Amino acid sequence: MDKWIQCGVTSLLFPASILNSILRKKDYRKPPGRIVQTRRGAFHVIEKGRGPITVIMDAGLSGNSLHWHHVQEELSQHTHTISFDRGGYGWSDKRKGLHDGEENVQDMTAILEAVNCTSPLVAVGHSYGGLNVRLFAHEHRERVKGIVLVDAVHEERYETEDPDRIKALKKSLRFMRIAYYSAFTGLPRLLNMKVGGKLIAKEMEPYHPFTGYKPGAYEAVYKELRDSQRTARQVAACEPVSPHLPMTIIQSNNQSEEWLRYQEKLKRLTNQPAVIQTSHGHSIHMENPPLVTKAILDQLERIKANENKERSVGL
């Protein structure tokens, strides 16, 4: 039904749709990474650096690989890194069917297979991406050696009985449904509603109109939000990660009671997580890339230290 409504709106506002199509062609830029063909479709992947451990980064709701630019540039000087666009975002193919966490995990797995990455992993997730990487760590328990959560959400943000939160979710979903329905007409462009927000690295600004006004990206945001409760339930149903798994939690300056409660629950996922409190807003990885980069590098050192300790005990 959603697709039929979108087609109807696009046809009804045909002149605007034609104009937006012309502007979209002007927006187009070749991807900064490469298009990787996988068993689940084509994905835009930025792969840089070399090292024994791969850091794979997943963006938040509406985010894409461009958001990790500065972090990945610095991190790739020390280890192997991968960032990617989830289905529908950036230069990646649209995803058919559900847009939930399990589908995201299958996409991440397919990407790693396609680029022949077999190394141990550190999974980094921002905001909604935190749910995805936790689910990914559950599915790849032997391979994921650490998790870094950048102002990540807890599953209770989407699986909740709080009437105020439910009301807010429904409002957001209505808003994104309208953006999705009208995406081909150019209305979101007219209102300067870029997918992924306005904050972007200066070097990535030329790509931002293409990724920000892509009709498929509005669809991806809408459907991920629509399926967010399903994702939350999948994460909640997972067997807990090892209490000894290295985990770093980087928090924003959000002092709302709700957000602080989420962060406290995340801290209890493992024994003695490394917690970094910042004075930044939600997009810490773009506001202060060196801080996030250092946190990831510190975790890599913790992992190496743990491995050396295990080897010495084995001797």
Task: Return the pLDDT at 142.
Answer: 92
Q: What is the mean pLDDT of the chain?
A: 93
Task: Please check whether residue 280 is in contact with residue 287, taking contact to mean a CB–CB distance below 8 angstroms.
Answer: yes
In this prediction, residue 314 has a pLDDT band, given cuts at 50, 70 and 90, of low
Domain that holds residue 230: 2-314
Instruction: Pull the structure tokens for residue 177.
Output: 């449904």
pLDDT tens across 201-235, in order? 999 999 999 999 999 999 999 999 999 999 999 99
Reference 56, options 82, 79, 87, 36; nearest CA is 82
Instruction: Pull the structure tokens for residue 83.
Output: 């960032």
Residue predicted with more confidence, 308 or 211: 211
* Statement: residue 315 has pLDDT above 70: no
pTM beyond cutoff 0.75: yes
In this prediction, residue 14 has a pLDDT band, given cuts at 50, 70 and 90, of confident
Task: Return the pLDDT at 6.
Answer: 83
Task: Please check whether residue 45 is in contact with residue 89, taking contact to mean a CB–CB distance below 8 angstroms.
Answer: no
Q: What CATH number did the domain enclosing 181 receive? A: 3.40.50.1820
In this prediction, residue 313 has a pLDDT band, given cuts at 50, 70 and 90, of low
User: Domain total for the chain?
Assistant: 1
Task: Return the pLDDT at 12.
Answer: 82
pLDDT tens across 226-237, in order? 999 999 999 999
CA atoms within 13 A on the CB side of 220: 29
